[in-house]
Amino acid sequence: MEAQTKKEIKQDRINERIPKTDMMRVVIIGGGFAGIELVRELSKADDIQIVLIDKHNYHTFIPLLYQVATAGLSPGDISSPLREFLQDSKNFHFRMAKVKEIDAPSKEIHTDLGTLSYDVLVMASGSRTNFFGNKQIKKNANNLREITDAIELRTKLINNFEEALQLDNEEDLEKHMNIVIVGAGPTGVELAGAIGELRNQVLPKDYPELDFRTMRITLVEGGNQVLGAMSKASGRKAARYLEKFGVEVRLGTILNSYEDRVAVLSDGTEIKTNCLIWAAGVQGNLVPGLNMDAVINGRIKVNEFNLIDGHKYVYAVGDVALQVDEKHPKGLPMLAPVAIQQARHLAKNIVRLNQKRPIKPFKYTDKGTMATIGRNKAVIDLPFNITIGGFFGWFIWMFIHLFSIIGFRRKLLVFSNWVLNYLTYKQGNRLIIKKDIDD
């Protein structure tokens, strides 16, 4: 009985700390691109209470995670506290909590802090790495989806070279020097280019005792082109850029297994490596309680209003949402521009709902996609089949990403780091961060 009483008190606590209101309460799960944009837009309304729930107290600029992993930027350069948004709206509240379940009939969510009621619920929970059920690879490989993943990968990369200095066994040395990246989407390509640049310009100066000509960077892709979601022209350019950085690109090849520090590919090739990076897929971050019949390939299907099939007043935007249109029969791409556009439109529709006005369907405007492959090299696909590459594409990529980072101070930090790295080839964040364990 006592345990039950404690549970009830805990469940009520999250509601007690958020002011009771007769305004519409909009609860947003996730502080990614979509969640942040929803807060920005809804904060313009004076008669809507906004509650943002996230398991972290910060927003991460995910497109630049690879630069943290390769020592170009520090974690604080691309992360910003979610509570910064409190300064702009008296009706905005943030709680750092993990959502356990959605109770749609009762219009409540259950978190590790307790229960919270809503009038409108928005799933903006983003995505996570998809290992396609392969527990062996999930256990042994590195991935890159959160800031902690980037720090862990950076530590792994640099620690490998520190350990390699002490080795005289050729097989062990080979494992420490080789890197395998699985998946030639934007994350895999950008990582491969950045690591290739490190090998060519930075690591030989840090570790003159090691012969980096023997270091092997292999990019494995099951499809028939690099950057399969982009145009064939951009894919060919990206492959050429990667080859200039000394990256071995293996198309039409999949990873069969990774065990005992040996990567076995589908063509029978075996690569000894201490560092295998999985960048071959993502899936939506789903929460129990949703209509599982609407889940397709790890994403939850929504209609043209971003309303989840089988639910009322529960919406989804961003990577977690599967929204189909004529040009995208398999769903809109899992990109930041899609999430931002959906969030802006949904915010307007929520205001219309609150004012008892008809809501309007969402239509995605494709303004282009891009990826960078190291210094002075990027590819951009624009509407009307326009493709840009090389230095000009890299400059556009850099400007757009810099403009998209939240906060003037972080823009300045990233820009100054980029300028310094460009002029000196000095990656200033080559730190091994781990806790000492006493013997």
pLDDT in tens, 251-305: 999 999 999 999 999 999 999 999 999 999 899 999 999 998 999 999 999 999 9
How much is the pTM?
0.90
Radius of gyration of the chain (CA): 23
Please give the C-alpha separations between residue 157 and each of 49, 51, 258, 273, in angstroms, as whole numbers: 45, 39, 17, 11
pLDDT score at 295: 94
Q: Which domains does the chain have, with CATH numbers?
A: 2-55+97-129+283-354 (3.50.50.60), 135-280+369-424 (3.50.50.100)
pLDDT category at 2 given cuts 50, 70, 90 is: very low
pLDDT at 342: 98
How far the first Cα of the chain sits from its last, in Å, is 44
> Three-class SS of residue 41?
helix
Place of tokens 């006592």: 2
The pLDDT value given to residue 438? 58
Say how far apart CA 220 and CA 259 lie, in whole Å. Answer: 17
Give 192's pLDDT tier (boundaries 50, 70, 90). very high
Distance CA 89, CA 40 (A): 9
Determine the pLDDT at residue 427.
64
Give residue-wise pLDDT tens across range 109-137. 999 999 999 999 999 999 999 999 899 99
The pLDDT assigned to 16 comes to 56
pLDDT of 3: 43
Q: Model confidence at 18, in pLDDT bands (50, 70, 90)? A: confident
**Which is higher by pLDDT, 407 or 232?**
232
Lowest-confidence range among 129-133, 228-232, 412-416?
412-416
What pLDDT score does 185 carry?
95
Q: Mean pLDDT score of the chain, rounded to an integer?
A: 91
Structure-model confidence comparison of residues 113 and 3, the more confident one:
113
More confident site: 416 or 7: 416
Q: How far apart are CA 174 and CA 408, in angstroms?
A: 43
pLDDT at 375: 86
- Neighbouring CB atoms inside 10 A of 200's CB total 17
- 311-335 average pLDDT score: 94
Q: Report the distance separating Cα 17 and Cα 326, nearest Å.
A: 45
